[in-house]
Amino acid sequence: MLTSFIHRFSSPKSFVEVTTRLFPYVMFLGFSCLALGWVWGLAFAPEDAIQGNSYRIIFLHVPASIMAQLIYFFMSICALMHLVWRVKLAAYLIKSAAPVGVMITFIALFSGSIWGIPTWGTWWQWDARITSTLILFIMYLGIITLHSSFSNAEKADRLMSILVVVGVVNIPIIKKSVDWWSTLHQPASISISDGASIDPSMLYPLTISIFGMALTMIALGILVSKLYILNREKNKKWVQAHV
């Protein structure tokens, strides 16, 4: 029953149709939240007592870092669906999410490096959190490269899914690196179990920025996946009808 449910709601055709309708709303809401969060954080949130104004990078760095990990987690769920139930759409979504993951992980690494200059006095340190995030960036690139190196798309999908599942071990390492090792990187500012360690005047714009970044990445993901699916299935009748 579960298998038939998954197969019914995971056809590339219905995915493209539903997401095409949702896209403008997701993009508008994402950009609006991101603009609100950033303007609030940059202009109206108070200055940090220790870091001064350089802490304002948090409204970009934290959402980007969270999304870098969430996108990979999403890809690993898709990889399991592809390997266990042979869901074709799941493989398409992995391939589409990987370039979005590359971009957002680059933003996380870049913003962290720039933030490190005034805060730590260095733009790079082989610290557990930064190194594991760099590994995540390399994993994303590896997934794209692996898929592109096969001419047989089905075989590429399967091998890519296996690599994604193997690489998911890095996600808890990134998350827990600041607790497991003594690192230069500060501990999490927001935790599900311990709540937030930052003032509400900073927490509200940060939460809005995270929400906005998530929706913006979903909107970009919708666009990339549509491009990939139409390209991959261009010989199918429904694609001809769709355009």
Partner 1 sequence: MFNFSFTDFHDFLTMDGHGIYVWTVYLVAFTLIAVSFLIVRHKLNVLKRKLENAKE
Nearest CA to 216 out of 37, 3, 2, 54 is that of: 37
Q: Is the Cα torsion angle 84, 87, 91, 97 positive or negative in sign?
A: negative
Q: How far is the CB of 114 from partner 1 (least distance, A)?
A: 5
Residue 209 touches partner 1, criterion: CB under 8 A: no
Beta bridge partners of 48: 52
Interatomic CA distance for residues 199 and 51, integer angstroms? 14
- In order of 10, 47, 59, 73, the CA distances from 92 in angstroms are 11, 44, 31, 15
One of 12, 15, 33, 38 touching partner 1 (CB under 8 A) = 38
Closest distance to partner 1 from the beta carbon of 87 (Å) = 23
Binding residues among 211-240 for partner 1 as defined by CB under 8 A: 216, 219-220, 223-224, 226-227, 230-231, 234, 239-240
User: Does 140 interact with partner 1 (rule: CB under 8 A)?
Assistant: no
CB nearer partner 1, residue 78 or residue 109? 109
> Which residue carries 């898929």 as its tokens?
147
Q: Which stretch binds partner 1 (CB under 8 A): 6-14, 113-121, 163-171, 179-187?
A: 113-121
Q: What angle do CA 215, 136, 176 make, to 5 degrees?
A: 90
Does residue 107 touch partner 1 according to CB under 8 A?
A: yes
Residues between 64 and 103 that touch partner 1 (CB under 8 A) = 64, 100, 103
57 binds partner 1 (CB under 8 A): yes
Q: Residues 6, 29, 36, 42: which binds partner 1 (CB under 8 A)?
A: 42
Site string for partner 1, 177-206 (x = CB under 8 A): ------------------------x--x--
User: CA 192 to CA 148: how far, in whole Å?
Assistant: 38
- In this chain, which stretch among 1-9, 47-55, 71-79, 162-170 interacts with partner 1, using CB under 8 A? 47-55
Span near partner 1 by CB under 8 A; candidates 104-112, 147-155, 170-178, 184-192: 104-112
Contact 217, 69 (CB under 8 A): no
Q: In Å, how far are 100, 116, 138, 140 from 145, measured between CA atoms?
A: 14, 30, 10, 9
For 124, phi then psi, to 5°, come to -145, 145
Strand residues in the chain grouped as ranges (E): 190-191, 195-196
Binding site for partner 1 (CB under 8 A): 38, 40, 42-47, 52-54, 56-57, 60-61, 64, 100, 103, 106-107, 110-111, 114-115, 117-118, 201, 204, 216, 219-220, 223-224, 226-227, 230-231, 234, 239-240, 243
